[in-house]
């Protein structure tokens, strides 16, 4: 069982933190003219497989994959910066 405070903390770390770090990194690379950078987002098995006891956690990890794919598509139009998810 997970309460709302635990859900918020998990979202903040696994999703919001990832978005803030990845977008700041991408913007910094673009601003400095880095055209061959690489952003690597770390995921876990929870982003590939859902178990009943960890369904909320898995949801945040599925979000890591979606955010990574979205950022990759956004950056491919304007640079050669690579975006990868590992885990």
Full set of structural domains in the chain with CATH: 4-86 (3.40.50.720)
- 11: nearest Cα among 50, 67, 57, 52: 57
Inter-residue long-range contacts of 72-77, CB under 8 Å, 24+ positions, other chains counted: 75/26
- The catalytic residues are 57
Token pair of 2 as six digits: 């997970």
DSSP 36: S
What is the Cα–Cα distance from 19 to 54, expressed in whole angstroms?
22
The structure's pTM equals 0.86
Segment 20-40, tens digit of pLDDT: 999 999 999 999 999 889 999
What is the Cα–Cα distance from 84 to 42, expressed in whole angstroms?
9
Segment 36-73, tens digit of pLDDT: 899 999 998 766 677 777 888 899 999 999 999 999 99
């Amino acid at each position: 069982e997970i309460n709302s405070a635990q859900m918020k903390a998990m979202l903040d770390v696994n999703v919001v933190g990832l978005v803030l770090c990845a977008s700041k990194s991408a913007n910094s690379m673009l601003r400095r003219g880095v055209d061959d950078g690489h952003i690597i987002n770390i995921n876990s098995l929870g982003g590939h497989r859902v178990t009943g006891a960890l369904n909320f956690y898995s949801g945040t990890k599925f979000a890591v994959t979606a955010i990574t794919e979205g950022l990759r598509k956004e950056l491919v139009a304007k640079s050669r910066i690579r975006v990868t998810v590992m885990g």
